[in-house]
Structure formats: C-alpha cells, structure tokens
Amino acid sequence: MAIARKTAAAGVSSQTTGVSLAPACPAVVDAGDILIAHVYWEGTSAAPVEPSGWTTLGGPYVIESTVARQWLFGRIADGSEDGATVTFSTTPANTDGRGARIYSFSGYVSGTIQEVVRDITHTSHATDPQMPTVTTTEAGALAVALIGQNDNNTHNSATGETGGDWTLWVTLAANLTPGFAITIQTATPTADPGTITGGTDPTNDDPVGTIGFEIRSTALTQVQAPRTMHQARMRRVA
C-alpha cells in the first residue's frame, strides 16, 4: 500500500514566556494514520518534552552549532486524536522562538512507529536548505524532508535533485524576532523503491537544518534489509 500525504494541521508558534507549545492534531484522524510532529526551538537552552503516547524518533538536531534545534516525534493513531492538542512544553521560562506542526499520512499496514519511520538523517547549512538523500525500501514508500530555518522565509519545492522530485506541502512561517519557518516536502523516488538525492531550496540566506527520512507501510524485515556486498555474492553463489 502506498503512503500518502493526508492532512497538515494548523501549527503553532510563540516566543512568549509561559506560553505552552501545544499544536493540534488534524481535525479528522483515522485509526492507523501515521502522525508526525515537527518541533523547532531557537537556541540550545530549552527543549520540548515527549508527550504521552508519542515517540521521539530523532533529535535534538542542532542547526549551525547554536542557532536552533529541531525534533521529530511520531505516533500510530488509534482514532481518538481528532483535533486533540499535543503538549510538548507547558510553561517555558524563556522567550525563545518555538513552534510545532503535526502531519498525518495514510497507507499504514503494520509495524511500530520506529519500524515504519526510518533511516533518519539531519544536515545543517549556513544559508539554504540542502535536501537529504533518502532511499525508500518498498514500493509506495514516501521520502520526507522537514526543514527548519531561522527566519520566516517563503519556501518552494526544491530543485536540482536526482532520482525524483521534491514537492512542497506547506510552510509555517512565524513572524517573530527573528522568526522562523518550518516546512515539509515529500517525494516518491522515480525507481520506487529507489533513492532521491541532492537539490536545494534557495531562500534568504539564513541558518537551516533538514531532517530526512522514509515512511513505509510495513516494518522492514531482515529479508528486505539491504545486504552487504559479501552477503550479496554468497546469495548469488548459492
């Protein structure tokens, strides 16, 4: 079954002391939806907490040493999440710019959230988003890139990539001081399964980080897992 983009919830942002970071899930969530939360936080002095029922899949990923950090959280929905808020921080005692957004994907069949959201990487760059290399491992799997940039820039679909086409879904641009933008792009590699690599999204020369990963419909089994060259030769000989 193919993984497909379903809904991007509204997202939230703040830099006010004591204001909770609690984005809402999409208004309609079906049991078996894959929920992905992207959290961005300026600086390195504060961090979100893992909400009950959610799993920290990656982070903290540091953007250019001190500029910001970002996290990836996930959950397989049970159908009770319609419009529910998810608290990543209750009363932060600082004025760091912070924000979060939750996305849903359809096409899940089986496996834990760690088994279907996999091969997570992060890159940091001083100016423009550099798109990740993502290799999908089953037909219909989706390559995903979450981008966090330290200004409320306009983003566009990446260009210059090979092996597929990155497509912009949505951007949450927070008009704070200095502001930030969190963005999601997705792609189905041309080979399906296959690898998409390279590309960039020219923006406005601000520090940025990109989280790349694959979403599968099922858990990756040992038989499906990539083999070493030695294992491949032994298989051919046998």
Mean pLDDT in residue range 206-221: 96
Q: Is residue 238 part of a domain?
A: no
In a domain, 142, yes or no: yes
Average pLDDT of span 205-219: 97
Q: Which amino acid is at 208?
A: V
Q: What whole-number percentage of the chain has pLDDT above 70?
A: 93
* Residue-wise pLDDT tens digits, 25-57: 999 999 999 999 999 999 998 899 999 999 999
pLDDT digits (tens, 9 = 90+) for 121-157: 999 999 999 999 999 999 999 999 999 999 999 999 9
Cα distance between residue 58 and residue 40, in whole Å:
12
Please indicate, yes or no, if residue 103 is contained in any of the structural domains. Answer: yes
What is the number of domains present in the chain? 1
Task: Convert the pLDDT of each residue in 18-32 to its tens digit.
Answer: 999 999 999 999 999
Alpha carbons 59 and 216: distance in angstroms, whole number: 20
Domain assignment present for 225: no
**Residue 19 covered by a domain:** yes
231 assigned to some structural domain: no
Domain assignment present for residue 77? The answer is yes
| Domain span at 57 | 4-220
The reply to whether 228 falls in a domain is no
pTM: 0.92
